[in-house]
Amino acid sequence: MRWIEVEPAGPLNGCVHIPGSKNSSLALLAAASLADGLVTLEGIPNIDDVKLIGQIGKDIGLTVTRRPSGEIVLDPRYIHSAIIDPGKASAYRASYYFAGALLAKFGRVTVGFPGGDNFVSRPIDQHMKAFQALGATVEFREDHYILEAKTLHGADIYFDTVTSGATINAMLAAVRAQGRTNLYHAAVDPEVVDTAAFLNGLGARIYGAGTDRIRIEGVPYLNGGRHTVIPDRLIAGAFLMSAGITGGSVTVKDVIPEHLGACIAKLREAGLEMEWDENSITARSTGQIRATRVRATMYPGFATDLQQPMTALLTQAKGKSIVTERVYPNRFNHVPQLRRMGAEIEVRGESAFIQGGRPLVGDWVHATDVRAGTCLVLAGLVAEGCTRITGVEHLERGYEDVIGSFRALGAKLSLHERETEQQDGRAAGMA
C-alpha cells in the first residue's frame, strides 16, 4: 500500500515549469507508428502511461528509446505486429490511437478495450464510426476488437458529438488512406492541433486542424522527423488553482496562455488576480475566493480535467457554487472523498452543488483518477491535520514528480509505503 501525506503549510508561492502535455504525448507516440523513418519527440513527460507505450512498442517492434537529454527516439521501421495486448491496452485509455495509426499500414489491427480513468461511460463508438466510414470492418470480442481493411478510402465523416480522441484517431487513419477525408464537427483542442502539426512535419497533408472541419489528403508514406510536444495546460491550471486555495502566488512557466483562456477567465471570476505574458501565467490570491458557476465542456470551454481541482478550490468560497459536467456527466468520484474531509457537496444529475466555506479536515481518501488525485492534494493543502491519499498510481500516470513540484512551492507532501495487511483500518473502508 502506498499513499501520499499532505499537511497544511500555508500559502504556496513560487514558479513551476510545466512539462509536455500527457494527452498530446500519448497521441504523438502512437502516431509515430505511421512514419517510415526515425522520429524524435521532445518534451514527452516521464510518466507511467509513456512507459507503458514503450512496453507496447517492444511487443509490436516499435523501438522507443529515451535519451539522457530527455528526448524520445522512436523507430517504427521494424514494426512486425499490429496486435496490442489486451492487458496492456486496458491499463490506459489512449491505447486506441494504435488502431488508427496501424490500420493503414497493416490492414488488420487487434486492440484491447481501452482502460485508464474510470468515468463510468467513455464510449469509443465515434472512433468505430470513423474507421467504418473509411472502409474498415469492426469485430468485437470479449476483451478486444479487430479492425480490418484491405484499403482505406477517404470519406466524409460527421461526428455525432465533439470528441478529441475520435478526431485524432480519424486523422491517424485518414493520413495514409486513398483520397480525401473531411471531418465535420471535429474537436478543436490544442492536442488535435499538435498531432496534426506533428504529422504534417512528417509529410502528411492535414488542413484546418483547430477548426470544426478538418481536411486530410491521403499520402502513400511519411518521413521521419522531429517535434516538440505542447505544454500540459491541465497541470498548469491545477497549479494556478493551488495559489487560490492556499492564498499564495504561483507562476506557471513554459505554457501557452491561449490554451488556458477559459481557466484564466473562471479563476478571475472566482477572485484571483491573473497576469500572463507569452509563455507564463501568474495567479495571485486576493484573500477571498468567490462562489461561482462552472460548466465543464469541450475546448475552448472550461476543461473537464480541471473541474475536479476547481471543485476543491470552490469548497473555500463562501456561498453556493455549482459545477456542471457536460463531457463526462458521472465524473464526480472525487465528491465522496471531499465529503469525508467535511465538504458540503450534493450531486444532482450532471451538477455538483457546493456550499463553500466549511472547514476541511484531513482523512484517508482515495484518488480514482489523475485529476481526482490533484483535487485531493489541493484539498489537503488547506485541511486541518494530515490528509492521506491512496491511489497514488493514478497521480503517477499524469505527473513526473507531483510531490517534488508541490514541495518546490512550499507544500508539505510525502510518499509512504507499507505492507497491505498492516494498513490502517480506516483506509481499508474509505472507498
Whether 420 shows a pLDDT value over 90: the answer reads: no
- Per the CB < 8 A criterion, the answer to whether 117 and 367 are in contact is no
**Burial status of residue 54 (CB atoms within 10 A of its CB: 0-12, 13-18, 19 or more):** middle
85 annotated as a binding-site residue: no
pLDDT, the chain, mean: 94
Condensed to tens digits (0 to 9), the pLDDT of residues 154-207 reads 999 999 999 999 999 999 999 999 999 999 999 999 999 999 999 999 999 999
126 annotated as a binding-site residue: yes
Active-site position among 48, 49, 75, 117: 117
Active site residue 156: no
Q: Is the dihedral of CA 312, 314, 315, 317 positive or negative?
A: positive
Residue 233, pLDDT score: 98
Percent above pLDDT 70 for the chain? 95
Under the banding of pLDDT at 50, 70 and 90, the label for residue 266 is very high
Residue 104, pLDDT score: 85
Under the banding of pLDDT at 50, 70 and 90, the label for residue 5 is very high
Whether 119 shows a pLDDT value over 50: the answer reads: no
Condensed to tens digits (0 to 9), the pLDDT of residues 59-100 reads 999 999 999 999 999 999 999 999 998 888 877 668 899 999
Distances 95 to 15, 23, 82, 240, 247 between C-alpha atoms, Å: 33, 12, 12, 30, 39
122 annotated as a binding-site residue: yes
Cell of 375: 483535487
327 annotated as a binding-site residue: yes
180 annotated as a binding-site residue: no
Residue 425, pLDDT score: 55
Q: Which residue has the cell 486506441?
A: 96
- Which amino acid would we find at residue 119? F
Condensed to tens digits (0 to 9), the pLDDT of residues 14-47 reads 999 999 999 999 999 999 999 999 999 999 999 9
Q: Please, which residues have CB within 8 angstroms of residue 238's CB and are 6 or more apart in sequence?
A: 306, 309, 371, 374, 378
- Which amino acid would we find at residue 243? A
Q: Which of 83, 85, 147, 79 is nearest to 115 (CA)?
A: 85
93 annotated as a binding-site residue: yes
Q: Please, which residues have CB within 8 angstroms of residue 166's CB and are 6 or more apart in sequence?
A: 124, 126, 127, 129, 130, 159, 187
Does this model's pTM top 0.75? My answer is: yes
Whether 117 shows a pLDDT value over 60: the answer reads: no
Residue 286, pLDDT score: 96
Whether 295 shows a pLDDT value over 80: the answer reads: yes
Q: Please, which residues have CB within 8 angstroms of residue 140's CB and are 6 or more apart in sequence?
A: none
Average confidence (pLDDT) over 248-252 = 98
23 annotated as a binding-site residue: yes
- CA atoms lying within 13 Å on the CB side of residue 202: 32
123 annotated as a binding-site residue: yes
Residue 424, pLDDT score: 53
- Per the CB < 8 A criterion, the answer to whether 345 and 335 are in contact is yes
